[in-house]
Structure 1
């Protein structure tokens, strides 16, 4: 299970990418659109900035912008910055945590599932998510009629 930090971080990157052409994106705008606490989002963006995914600009027209092209931001790298190593169960990442690892019939299965999950994340970029979002439409622009 991915933490909220990783899920929110990917959503924040996607939000910045969607609004990047308008200039730097304000933290409060991202927080409002994504329904994320401003304080929590700030911590996430600090991590993403330190890893080189986003840059911040100060001043009247300040905010966050992508530091790389969306096609250069692989999701596995972003998730790893926010989450650490990605493993379905702890023993896959560190076999020493479980004394049953050497004879456990499910250890190999969890390792295969973890590898598949990591491969999917490695094969996807922020640009892929932007394309998916374009196909699905923007929820904040949807109109409902009674």
Structure 2
């Protein structure tokens, strides 16, 4: 499963907004310059984030974008689904959310599109459902506040925090 630059740049944009402790709007131009990202692409990405209710805009000389919620309340499953759509580990998985209401924590469901073969289900469906569930769980467990804190530590310690033991 490969996420596109849309997810990467969108998360980087949110981290920059999360660094704004005073919650002042920040211009996309300033974010693009700070992160070395293309402004035109950020404009398309921020539109998706705004549609998902993650950011809001302010017009005027001191306008720009800011988060709609505290960074601790923004989780990466919501962000990635807003930017990429449903997370599916295989191309045979299809989105089953059309027409469903948006929930505060979107957990887009995916279904295997293989049809039963002589009474047998898809042999790999369980594996891919577990992979998809594991990825979504890790995204849900990661808040924007954690990413902001990690980014503010700088490059001196690139080691991510240890995962809790499953044993």
TM-score by length of 2: 0.73
Q: CA deviation at 1:137?
A: 5.1
SS of the counterpart of 2:153? Answer: helix
| Cα RMSD (Å) | 2.2
Question: Does the CA-based 8 Å contact 2:10-2:45 persist in structure 1?
Answer: yes
Is the Cα–Cα contact under 8 Å of residues 115 and 122 in structure 2 kept in the other structure? no
Structure 2's unaligned 5+ residue stretches are 94-109, 157-167
Q: Tell me which residue corresponds to 1:119.
A: 137
Q: How many residues align?
A: 137
Secondary structure, counterpart of 1:2 in structure 2: coil
Alignment of 1:67-86 (within 5 A): 67-86=68-87
CA distance in 2, matches of 1:95, 1:22: 43
Residue 89 of structure 1: aligned partner: 90
Q: Is the 8 A contact 1:20 1:65 kept in 2?
A: no
1:143 alignment partner in structure 2? none
Counterpart of 1:144 in structure 2 is none
- Runs of 4+ aligned residues of structure 1 deviating over 6 Å after TM superposition are none
- Please, which runs of 5 or more residues in structure 1 have no aligned partner? 139-146
Cα distance in 2 for partners of 1:34, 1:20 equals 18
